[in-house]
Amino acid sequence: METVEPLTISAATAADRDAVVRLWTCAKLTVPHNDPGEDFDFAVGRESSDVLVGVSQGRIVASVLVGHDGHRGWLYYVAVHPDYQRRGYGAAIVAAGERWLSDRQVRKVMLLVRDTNAAVLSFYERLQYEAAARVVMQKWPAPS
């Protein structure tokens, strides 16, 4: 049986930016209309958001960008490097995001799954997430 290196989870720092963006890219979480570096910069170390990273063998191998609006908490960019999957790291990084929200008295955790990433739905279902009957609407306001 393979020995699984424990995952050490902490808040990301500005120095982690490039490694985290590489992880998000490797995990196929990036899209052309979102700059992952800007997303990292916008969220890291804020009062209502942060980026948590999981380190194994000295390498960032897992992440979650977590944030809230005071009522609903959101998990974004949940990633585990493909070489480190199936070790429980995904569940661990999601649990860390949930704890981050719970520590701030945010009781509802939300996440979005792109329809192109349907294979991950069973992962979230195993973690007791359920599909919500909602329509997500969006608008891209013109820059001011």
What pTM value is reported for the model?
A: 0.90
Q: Is residue 30 part of a domain?
A: yes
Q: Is residue 119 part of a domain?
A: no
Distance of CA 123 to the CA centre of its chain: 14
CA angle 105, 65, 15 (to 5 degrees): 120
CA-derived radius of gyration, the chain: 15
* CATH number of the domain where residue 39 is located: 3.40.630.30
Alpha-carbon span 8 to 59, nearest angstrom? 10
Q: Is residue 137 part of a domain?
A: no
Q: How many domains does the chain have?
A: 1
pLDDT in tens, the chain (144 residues): 455 788 999 999 999 999 999 999 999 999 888 899 999 999 999 999 999 999 999 999 999 999 999 899 999 999 999 999 999 999 999 999 999 999 999 999 999 888 777 789 889 999 999 988 888 888 878 887
